[in-house]
Amino acid sequence: MLRNYLTIAFKVLLRRKLFTAISLFGISFTLVVLMVVTAVLDHAVAPLRPETRQDRTLGVYFARMSGQDNQWQSEPGYLFLDRYQRDLPGVERMSIFSVPTVVNSYLNGKRIQSSLKRTDGDYWKILDFEFLEGSPFNEDDLKSARFVAVINATTRGRFFGDGKAVGETLEADGQRFRVVGVVPDVPELRTVPFADIWVPLTTAKSDAYRRELMGDFFGIFLARSPADVPAIREEFAARLRRIELPKGYDTMKAAPLSPLEGLATQVFGFGPLGRLVNDEAGNVSLARFWATGSLLALLFMLLPTLNLVNLSVSRIMERASEIGVRKAFGASSQTLVQQFVVENVALTVVGGLLGLVLSQLVLNALTASGFLAYAHFTVNARIFLGGLALAVFFGVLSGAYPAWRMSRLHAVDALRGSTR
């Protein structure tokens, strides 16, 4: 029976090529947008190396100081993290590192731009980097302020070609560093591990950063277990109330966030959608984030769904005589509904497969553009299955009402061509 339904479905779709083309365009375009957004989100926050411990990793990426007449919002400063947030209960390790800065190097008269990040030794113990060469610098290197560096594979190629990098020196931001390790490239979307060059914090040209509550630093905590996360958040919030703030400020807000919460805050937390996704304390609520994202996705799907419903109604109305004959020979309403829903699902599955192919082409173009450094977007199995399930849902949703409506026709009215 299903085979017959599918055979009829494809013959019907080929009968009205314009309607079919419009339907396929609406389905595939909608899925392309949704799947590209999903692939980018997956690329940014999926638990992949070097961020393999996301279930127990928290980061402090934003801070806000407020007063009656003043407000300062930026990344937190080193002083805030080092003096007030160390040794939180339930934290196994803590790392403080700088926001990546673009630095210049000159090699054989050619300028090379790199993203440089200054970190401590625990940074390498929290993150799970794979080392292609050498090893990370450690706390002893940090205490001695040794000019050593870890670089990524692309930077190795820029400075040393196909040769080994460990033991060689390179110049960055007017300083010379000896390379001690090489790691694979990390996509720019992954804020915490991304950089081209990593060097010890203590090699900074000035130690003024040590006295700043607000500045250009991030902090990450590795909890002993996921169960310790609530206690870490609670103690972090309690310590905020004990901070000595500068004159003109009386409140400081910050929060340790999961990677997804951090991304949600960056994308939604400060714009017009902030009120929709922020909780009472001003932090992004994942529940609200998912609810808002789902609502936007449903609204985005609504227009093509309505268009597909209208097209399905028009296509089925042309088959009133066929429906009348089928009903006259004893076909039940349930049988007709099943047939028309299968036809619509077949259409949306074809559109879904087309959307998957187009999504990969768009993602390939986005990867090749270099817009986001070291990004390599792809439609993986999880996204593929999700997109296919969405296409089937799309087909059932848009086909059920037209099928039900036409199956209710009286056989005599249908044979006369009436659709009321």
Query: Each residue of 344-366: pLDDT tens digit?
Result: 777 778 888 888 889 889 999 98
Do 103 and 36 belong to one domain?
no
pLDDT for residue 177: 98
Query: Looking at 256, 275, 298, which one is the last position of a domain?
Result: 256
Terminal Cα distance for the chain, rounded: 28
pLDDT bucket at 15, cuts 50 / 70 / 90 = low
Which has more confidence, 283 or 82?
A: 82
* Mean pLDDT across 245-260: 90
What is the chain's length? 420
Res 167: pLDDT: 96
Q: Spell out a b/e string for 124-140, using b for 16 or more CB atoms within 10 Å of the CB, else e.
A: bebbebeeebbebbbee
Q: Which pLDDT belongs to residue 169?
A: 96
Residue 50 within a domain: no
Span 190-235, pLDDT tens digits: 999 999 999 999 999 999 999 999 999 999 999 999 999 999 999 9
Residue-number span of the structural domain to which 95 is assigned: 62-256
Greatest mean pLDDT among 128-132, 306-310, 314-318, 326-330 lies in 128-132
Are residues 311 and 377 part of one domain?
yes
Shared-domain flag, residues 252 and 381: no
Task: Give the integer Cα–Cα distance in Å for 186 and 129.
Answer: 9
pLDDT at residue 333 in the model: 65
Burial class (CB in 10 A: 0-12, 13-18, 19+), 300: middle
pTM (predicted TM-score): 0.80
HSE at residue 169, side-chain half, CA atoms within 13 A, is 7
Task: Determine which of 72-86, 230-244, 406-420 has the lowest per-residue pLDDT on average.
Answer: 406-420
* 224: in domain: yes
Tens of pLDDT, residue by residue over 35-60, are 888 888 888 888 889 999 999 999 99
CB 30 within 8 A of CB 300: yes
Q: Is the pLDDT of residue 281 over 50?
A: no
Clarify whether residues 228 and 162 are in a common domain.
yes
Beta carbons within 8 Å of 88's beta carbon, 6+ residues apart: 94, 221, 232, 235, 236
**Average pLDDT rounded to a whole number, residues 80-98:** 96
Per the domain annotation, does 110 fall within a domain? Answer: yes
Q: What is the pLDDT of residue 245?
A: 92
Q: 117: pLDDT confidence band, cut at 50, 70 and 90?
A: very high
- Across all residues in the chain, what is the average pLDDT? 82
Q: Are residues 292 and 409 in the same domain?
A: yes
377 pLDDT tier (thresholds 50, 70, 90): confident
251, 243, 253: which is closest to 282 by C-alpha? 253
Q: What was the pLDDT predicted at 280?
A: 47
The answer to whether 211 touches 79, Cβ cutoff 8 Å, is: yes
Which tokens sit at 259?
Answer: 């990677």
Q: How far is CA 44 from CA 95, 131, 187, 299, in A?
A: 20, 21, 8, 24
Indicate if 228 and 86 belong to the same structural domain: yes
Residue 410 has what pLDDT?
Answer: 59
Q: What is the pLDDT of residue 396?
A: 73
Point out the domain boundary residue: 212, 233, 256: 256
| pLDDT tens per residue, range 136-175 | 999 999 999 999 999 999 999 999 998 999 999 999 999 9
Residues 352 and 231 in one domain: no
Residue 270 lies in a domain: no
What DSSP letter does each residue of 141-206 carry, written as one string? Answer: HHHTT--EEEEEHHHHHHHHTTS--TT-EEEETTEEEEEEEEE----TT-TTT--SEEEEGGGSS-
Q: Are 177 and 196 in contact (CB under 8 A)?
A: no
Q: Is the pLDDT of residue 2 over 60?
A: no
Query: In this structure, is residue 55 part of a structural domain?
Result: no
If one compares 176 and 265, the residue with the highest pLDDT of the two is 176
Q: Measure the CA–CA gap between 72 and 81, rounded to whole angstroms.
A: 17
Q: What angle do CA 384, 388, 391 make, to 5 degrees?
A: 140
Where a domain ends, among 256, 273, 296? 256
Predicted local confidence at residue 324, as pLDDT: 65
Q: Are 85 and 218 within one domain?
A: yes
Handedness of CA 98, 74, 85, 208 (dihedral sign): positive
Give me the amino acid identity at 52. T
Q: Kindly state whether residue 420 falls inside one of the protein's structural domains.
A: no
**Number of domains forming the structure of the chain:** 2
- Asked whether residue 239 falls in the same domain as residue 321, the answer is no
Residues 106 and 227 occupy one common structural domain: yes
Whether residues 68 and 188 share a domain: the answer is yes
In a shared domain, residues 204 and 307: no
Residue 73, number of CB atoms within 10 A of its CB: 12
In-domain check, residue 271: no
Domain presence at residue 281: no
> Would you say residue 73 has pLDDT above 90?
no
